[in-house]
């Protein structure tokens, strides 16, 4: 079964005549020609991980609304100066409940304080579950070594990228997350507009916050930001988006390098085990009929001993490599 990308099927949604019979005929032709734009379908665990990340963002948005309602009540009664400096500590919330205000104002205040407390409990539960997911993915800890990238940004990147091997270049990550400008080019004219905003909005929000932290804490990102801004205040947002795009590419390059090294290490270990078993079997039976030797079989095939040096599909999915995995 192939899951097609609806946004890339221009043959169907861009047609002037659209019905089920014509759509099925066009899809059948595309399947016959193997030209269906497929969409990546993550497994169940990754989809559950994404849903928890989105749930946390909704809880944070609701918490911001509750805080704004509390500030509005204090502003209506001219209590902003008398309020504690940090209004969301346990001591400050207890102070809010002791205020002597109008009955309706106290009702609004009490309801929002109760909602704020319940949202904190829910957010803590969600973050505890997210920490379990992050512990099962070493890439999250690896990405946190990049300046400005925290656990929330790293886990969101890993959850939505899922498999870094499906991106040939790190520039494709910027397109995937919608951080590239819209383009309308013809002949010698090239018009660039706002960013495309494709992909998950939560990632663009978190990567923008991470970009600000990287600009403040990393001299390299700060120089890049100032270079794009060119001393013009009106280019501040453009420079920030460009820095976020650069940060996304750095994260993708770090994940790609780690995945490549892991593949090389695993393949070298499997090859070593197979060759060791073949050598041990040859030493135990010096005489008698000729036995099957994996080393001779690999040599006769004239294939590279490392899967990343040969034809990727035939070698990685071949019977010899599967036999090596079973023997290891």
Against a cut of 0.85, is the pTM above it? no
Which of 257, 272, 290 is the C-terminal boundary of a domain? Answer: 257
Same-domain check for residues 97 and 159: no
Phi, psi dihedrals of residue 191, rounded to the nearest 5°: -105, 125
Same-domain check for residues 183 and 94: no
Structural domain includes residue 188 = yes
Burial of 315 (0-12, 13-18, 19+ CB in 10 A): middle
Same-domain check for residues 62 and 32: no
Contact predicate 198/176, CB 8 Å: yes
pLDDT given at position 284: 57
11 forms bridges with which residues in the sheet?
A: none
pLDDT given at position 306: 39
Same-domain check for residues 120 and 188: no
Query: CA nearest 199: which of 167, 239, 234?
Result: 167
Per residue of the chain (328 residues), give pLDDT as tens.
777 777 667 666 566 677 788 778 877 877 777 777 778 889 999 999 999 999 999 999 999 999 999 999 999 999 988 889 899 999 999 999 889 999 999 999 999 999 999 999 999 999 999 999 999 999 999 999 999 999 999 999 999 999 998 999 999 999 999 999 998 888 888 898 899 999 999 999 999 999 999 999 999 999 999 999 999 999 999 999 999 999 999 999 999 988 888 878 878 888 888 888 777 765 555 555 555 444 444 444 443 433 433 344 334 444 444 444 444 4
Structural domain includes residue 298 = no
Structural domain includes residue 158 = yes
pLDDT given at position 2: 72
Same-domain check for residues 50 and 111: yes
Same-domain check for residues 251 and 162: yes
Query: CA nearest 66: which of 129, 21, 120, 102?
Result: 120
pLDDT given at position 312: 41
Structural domain includes residue 308 = no
Structural domain includes residue 306 = no
Same-domain check for residues 156 and 244: yes
Same-domain check for residues 35 and 93: no
Residues 6+ away with beta carbon under 8 Å from 75: none
Instruction: Domain count for the chain, please give it.
Output: 3
Tokens of 99: 């205020």
Domain of residue 116, residue span:
44-136
Structural domain includes residue 270 = no
Residues 6+ away with beta carbon under 8 Å from 130: 49, 52, 53, 56, 155
Same-domain check for residues 158 and 82: no
pLDDT given at position 283: 59
Same-domain check for residues 162 and 102: no
Same-domain check for residues 226 and 171: yes
Structural domain includes residue 267 = no
Contact predicate 149/251, CB 8 Å: yes
């Amino acid at each position: 079964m192939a899951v097609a990308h609806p946004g890339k099927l221009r043959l169907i949604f861009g047609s002037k005549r659209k019905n089920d019979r014509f759509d099925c005929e066009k899809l059948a032709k595309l399947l016959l020609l193997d030209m269906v734009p497929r969409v990546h379908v993550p497994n169940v665990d990754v989809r559950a991980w994404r849903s928890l990340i989105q749930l946390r963002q909704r809880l944070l948005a609701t918490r911001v609304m509750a805080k704004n309602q509390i500030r509005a009540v204090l502003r209506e009664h001219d209590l902003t100066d008398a309020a504690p400096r940090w209004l969301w500590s346990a001591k400050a919330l207890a102070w809010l409940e002791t205020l002597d205000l109008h009955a309706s104002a106290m009702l609004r205040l009490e309801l929002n304080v109760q909602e704020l407390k319940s949202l904190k409990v829910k957010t803590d539960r969600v973050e505890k579950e997210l920490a379990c997911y992050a512990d099962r993915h070493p890439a999250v800890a690896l990405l946190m070594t990049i300046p400005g990238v925290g656990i929330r940004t790293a886990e969101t990147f890993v959850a939505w990228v899922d498999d870094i091997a499906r991106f040939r270049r790190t520039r494709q990550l910027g397109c995937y997350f919608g951080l590239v400008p819209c383009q309308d080019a013809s002949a010698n004219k090239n018009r660039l507009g706002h960013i495309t905003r494709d992909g998950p909005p939560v990632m663009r929000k978190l990567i923008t916050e991470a970009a600000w932290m990287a600009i403040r804490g990393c001299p390299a990102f700060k120089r890049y930001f100032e270079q794009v801004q060119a001393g013009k205040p009106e280019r501040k947002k453009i420079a920030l988006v460009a820095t976020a795009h650069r940060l996304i590419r750095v994260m993708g390059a770090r994940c790609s390098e780690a995945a490549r090294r892991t593949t090389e290490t695993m393949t070298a270990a499997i090859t070593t085990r197979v060759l060791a078993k073949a050598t041990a079997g040859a030493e135990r039976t010096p005489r008698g009929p000729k036995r099957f030797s994996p080393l001779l079989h690999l040599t006769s095939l004239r294939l590279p001993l490392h899967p990343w040096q040969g034809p990727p599909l035939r070698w990685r999915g071949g019977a010899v490599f599967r036999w090596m995995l079973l023997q290891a």
